[in-house]
Structure 1
Amino acid sequence: MSDGIDHIEEFHGLPVFTLARDEAPAPGALPEPDAVAWRLDCGWDEKWTFPELWRHFTSVVDTERVRALVIGPWWSGEYSELAPVQELIVADAARFPALRALFLADVVGEECEVSWLRINDITPAIEAFPLLENFGVRGCGDTYRDGDLRLRPVKHDRLRVLRFESGGLPGSVVRAVGASELPALEHVELWLGVDEYGGNATLADLAPLLDGGRFPRLRHLGLQNSEIQDEIAGAVAAAPVVAGLESLALSMGTLTDAGAEALLAGQPLTHLDELDLSHHYISAPWRTRIQEALEPHGVRVELEVAHDIDEDDEWRYVAVSE
């Protein structure tokens, strides 16, 4: 399942522009370096390897003015791991003094299933850019190894947005986020996924994100795409972090009436600007209760149901897994 994955069209407040694989772009054909988020994509034609595309990018664009960078499919022909690509970016970090946003693996299912995106340790990509404000990555762990997608606890003074899009986010990555020193962090989005694809995070792993003390500036919390979404909703209902949030996302997972009941029975949510529960398995009566409890207070409630929802069917699926 990969209902929740599309190519990024805007990143860090900038439109995404895919650099054409043209050795000699016409004068005026390229936007100003700081006006777009530059997307690099090796495409299907096997014309460019990523090192060739990278050399082309750094020769035709003033990298000192680049503010945002998006890495699309980095392989031409047979799939290859991201690690050499990341190493190339990290090695050239000094050439990007204005870079504030980086997204790794803007890849959709037609190009490669998310479960096959092997990302390795992404810590160096964060550490290489001390002024980075926005970091995102798409990819899965591995049930049979301790997760190809890895993160070590980091200290970063400027990072405000951290986003993991995954059909299986390893518990080790969640624990590393919770152990990191990120005093500016305002927005966290974790697609937790399923155990089959390495998503083995537990409620205990989420505890540092929920206690409210680790990241005092946090305003958006997304704990999404989980097969334990009801349990997460129960923990969130009593979590100190909620009082400081402006928006909360428990979407994309297997949330049922039990999770909805826990949310309404817990602490008030009426201070939120938005509560996103889309792709859920909540019955119509409980959807109505949520709306009646929150919408009169100005809370935007997203309640789009999962595809082909059948309230009598015990089988539930997350939005993004394979």
Structure 2
Amino acid sequence: MDYSEFNDHVGNLSEGTYAGLPITPVPGEDDAEIPAVGEAAWRISVKSYRKETFEGTFTRLLEKVDAAGIRALIIGRWGDGSEDNSEVIRLLADHAARLPALRSLFVGAVNWEEWEISWILQSDVTPLLEAFPLLERLEVRGGSGLELRPVRHENLKVLRFETGGLPAAVVRAVGECDLPALEYLELWLGSDWYGGDATVADLEPILSGERLPALRHLGLQDSEIQDEIAEAVASAPVVARLESLALSMGTLGDEGAEGAEALLSGQPLTHLKRLDLHRHYLSDAMMERVASALPSADLSGQADLTMTDGERYVAVSE
């Protein structure tokens, strides 16, 4: 798998593609020219001021294209922001038989101009994994109300949670899932203020890698406890078989036995093709040490503590 498409904060949605397909809105009632169904990533998003409903728009997609050929779906806004997406999840799961080719699904693909990430009201996304056993890629944006139950899924290759605060219960559930095909796992852990209450202990099943035999990329990002995570990663069994590791967007600093120092003094990381540390709080001296020891490290985005009165903040919270 080419991981380069996941390097920015929103995958490649900002470039107008998803899962290698051009993003295409649901056809209107009178649209005559419609792309071939399998050559588009179909985006379902409703505007409350247009008096649309998600169910109506979803139904129109199923009627206007050959639903059996849909390979990728992007779920944007599902209402005015006052309701969670439990009905969206139910609709998708209930119509799974009509979507046998679906392999990539992004739930909550809403940008900050529409809703802040903390405003996106999620729900239990487990039914999606249960209803789509052939799904290969599931991405979720927004941690408010987010739930996950431990499941076994034979085909999922990519799992991403973009949040300003990822609930510890979801982190634990990820660690309890059996995902034998998973190659790419990315968790934005966020701020405790926005529900990101996971601890290093909650991450231990993931760091052991026992239920993730195919994992090649691990992202534990945007965390207020980034130094502690770095210390845990420095001795984590899963790291030896990774190709890339991301500890970016959080509060990573120099920190003695924790932080970047732990990455230098722990198990070797020279096998990594990419070590993503971008948007960090490392000193100039530590940056030089890391760059010398780990040439694959991305050290861009050094945060300026003088601009924050000495306080460290995650990149994405609200």
Contact 2:280 2:301 (C-alpha < 8 Å) held by counterparts: yes
Which of 34, 49, 60 aligns to 2:53? It is 49
Deviation at 1:56, TM superposition (A): 1.0
1:143-154 equivalent positions in 2, closer than 5 A: 148-154=145-151
Higher RCO, 1 or 2 (CA under 8 Å, sep at least 6)?
1
Within-5 A mapping of 1:292-303:
292-295=292-295, 299=296, 301-303=297-299
- In structure 2, C-alpha distance between the alignment counterparts of 1:208 and 1:11, rounded to whole Å: 30
Distance 1:5 1:127 in 2: 25
The equivalent residue for 1:144 is none
Q: 1:236 aligns with which of 220, 233, 238?
A: 233
Q: Is the Cα contact below 8 Å between 1:281 and 1:311 reproduced in 2?
A: no
Residue equivalent to 1:268: 268
Change (3 A) 1:7 1:50: farther
Deviation by residue 1:74-111 (Cα, 9 ceiling, x = unmatched): 11x46322111111111111000000111100011211
Tell me how large the CA RMSD over aligned residues is: 1.8
**Equivalent-residue separation in structure 1 for 2:11 and 2:276 (angstroms):** 18
CA distance in 2, matches of 1:274, 1:39: 31
SS at match of 2:39: coil
Instruction: Work out which of the residue numbers 117, 134, 137 in structure 2 matches 1:134.
Output: 137
- Measured after TM superposition, the shift of residue 311 of structure 1 is 8.5
Q: Distance in 2 between matches of 1:34 and 1:223?
A: 33
Task: Give the 3-state SS of the residue equivalent to 1:310 in structure 2.
Answer: helix
State the match for 1:190 in structure 2: 187
> Could you tell me which of 23, 39, 46 is aligned with 1:16?
23
Indicate how the Cα distance of structure 1 residues 306 and 57 shifts in structure 2: closer, same or farther if over 3 A, else same: farther
Q: How does 1:171-250 map to 2 (within 5 A)?
A: 171-250=168-247
8 Å Cα contact 2:46-2:52 kept in structure 1: yes
Residues 99 and 5 (structure 1 numbering): CA distance in 2 closer, same or farther, change over 3 Å? closer
The Cα shift of 1:197 comes to 0.9
- Work out the CA distance in 2 between the residues paired with 1:261 and 1:313: 23
Instruction: Give 1:24 deviation, angstroms.
Output: 1.4
- Residue 92 (structure 2) pairs with residue 89 (structure 1): yes
Tell me how far apart the structure 1 counterparts of residues 302 and 108 of structure 2 sit (CA, whole Å).
25
The TM-score normalised by the length of structure 2 is 0.91
SS in structure 2 of the partner of residue 15 of structure 1: strand
* SS of equivalent residue, structure 1 residue 70: strand
CA contact (8 A) 2:81 2:120 kept: no
CA–CA distance in 1 between the matches of 2:108 and 2:253?
Answer: 31
Cα distance between partner residues in 2 of 1:283 and 1:305: 12
What TM-score comes out, normalization by structure 1 length?
Answer: 0.90
Separation in 2 of the partners of 1:23 and 1:45? 18
The residue number in structure 2 matching 1:25 is: 31
Q: Which amino acid aligns with 1:248?
A: L
Identity value in percent = 54
CA offsets, 1:202-226, max 9 Å, x none?
1111001111322111000000000
1:279-290 mapped onto 2 (5 Å cutoff): 279-290=279-290
Say which is worse superposed, 105-114 or 230-239, in terms of deviation: 105-114
Distance 2:21 2:285 in 1: 40
Unaligned runs of 5+ in 2: 1-7
User: 1:36, 1:179 → 2: CA distance?
Assistant: 34
Give the letter aligned to residue 170 of structure 2.
V
Give, in whole Å, the separation in 1 of the partners of 2:125 and 2:247: 25
One-letter identity of the residue aligned with 1:195: D
Could you say if the C-alpha distance between residues 183 and 6 of structure 1 is closer, same or farther in structure 2, counting changes exceeding 3 Å? closer
For 1:284, the aligned partner's letter is D
1:51-130 pair list within 5 angstroms: 51-75=55-79, 77=80, 79-130=82-133
Report the Cα offset of residue 10 of structure 1.
2.9
The structure-2 alpha-carbon separation of the partners of 1:317 and 1:70, relative to structure 1 and needing over 3 Å to count, comes to same
